[in-house]
Amino acid sequence: MKLDTKNSKLPSTGLSPLKKAATYFSLVLLGAGVTFSTNYFGLRNPQSTATFGATDSSKVLAQTPPTSNLLLNQNGNFITAVVEKVGPAVVRIDSSRTVTSRVPKAFNNPFFRQFFGDEFPTGPQQRVEKGEGSGFIISNNGQILTNAHVVEGADTVNVTLKDGRSFQGKVMGVDPVTDVAVVKIEANNLPTAAMGNSDQLKPGEWAIAIGNPLGLDNTVTTGIISATGRSSSAVGVPDKRVQFIQTDAAINPGNSGGPLLNSSGQVIGMNTAILQGAQGLGFAIPINTAQRIANQLVSQGKVQHPYLGIQMVTLTPELKKNINSNPNAGLNVEEDQGVLIAKVLPNSPAAKAGLQAGDVIQKINGQPVKDAEGVQGAVENTQVGNSLQVSVRRSQRDLNVAVQAGTFPTARQ
């Protein structure tokens, strides 16, 4: 699981407040660039996330969840019971693709040929890139949920079950915007993982991760839910539209696409990311989000994400002061709170509706919004073609602007 992000490190505290605010701009138009790598973050830093020490681990294993949890084995070790129940549904995914690189035209100069001789490349060069990750079976006829970055662009996808059986996988669809993909294998009567409800998660609940980190198949790690609703910008991947689950269960390269489970053995998230250089900071896509995207991929082969086409930032009195005191900002902010539109992308739905840089969003469809994540959530929860009523403050006036959500432009469009 190569967790490779361009912004895996959070900005340093040495930035000026204005630059810091610009760094944290939350994009409604989110980029869709992901790499064909088996880990989404952290390959540049092979240091793994923190795990429990021997003493702490023994204490953890001695504990049991609330008595209402019926998933206990004879020894009272609920973690073992979860692994026995879900482990057979967790798979290893090996993918590969052939990449062709062409020799730059400048190298056709006779000087280079004379200098390098027979070793000088004369035509396109090919190399095979390989990756590995995890996944889990969601239907007994062979549908598997995993990360988009594990299989996107792959020529071949091989799926290995815990019992040793191996199948050729077919990618039914990938969604780079949420990093969700569905793979299908031709098999029946397969073990499946039960789905939980990620909307009901609370910090402090048990979290169990199963996957194939660093080539070590069927590895189990435990921890808790550290936080919910982590924005993509806070995690360091502003090109994603996901409110991540944060966990301290150890997640390492190769865990990508594997399940994050609760104490009842239900999938509550799909492990996908770690922060470069951090310990005990892992992130998972909420299973409710992953299921919603997976259903569209299975039925349509693609996902349409609505967007407005603005760059925005949550206003604070300090940010207002710094913007107004900077002659290069190009904005004059009069509001202390709301969501400031910093830029409107040309030819976007927002531009066509008349939204302008400097507008401060107060409400969407009559509901107050306090931060940029709230605006993004409101947009994501609508459908392409639907109209959003955006209430803004402009030059001390209240305006209502109807914006018809457009289709998020991806590299494939």
Cβ atoms of 252 and 49 within 8 Å: the answer is: yes
* Given the residues 226, 233, 256, 348, the one annotated as active site: 256
* Given the residues 175, 179, 239, 359, the one annotated as active site: 179
Cα–Cα distance, 74 to 176 (Å, whole number)? 43
Find the DSSP H helices in 287-393.
Answer: 287-300, 317-324, 349-353, 372-380
393 by DSSP, 3-state: which? strand
Residue written as token pair 């696409």: 257
Find the DSSP H helices in 198-342.
Answer: 232-235, 287-300, 317-324
Cα–Cα distance, 382 to 30 (Å, whole number)? 16
Is residue 149 flagged as an active site residue?
yes
Cβ atoms of 273 and 235 within 8 Å: the answer is: yes
DSSP state of 411: T
Cβ atoms of 362 and 368 within 8 Å: the answer is: yes
Residue among 259, 264, 263 nearest 145 (CA)? 259
Task: Specify the DSSP element, H or E, that contains 376.
Answer: helix 372-380
Cβ atoms of 241 and 253 within 8 Å: the answer is: no
Q: How far is CA 202 from CA 7, 56, 227, in A?
A: 27, 22, 7
Q: How far is CA 274 from CA 84, 236, 279, 287, 328, in A?
A: 26, 10, 9, 18, 36
* Given the residues 4, 95, 149, 348, the one annotated as active site: 149
323 by DSSP, 3-state: which? helix
Active site residues: 149, 179, 256
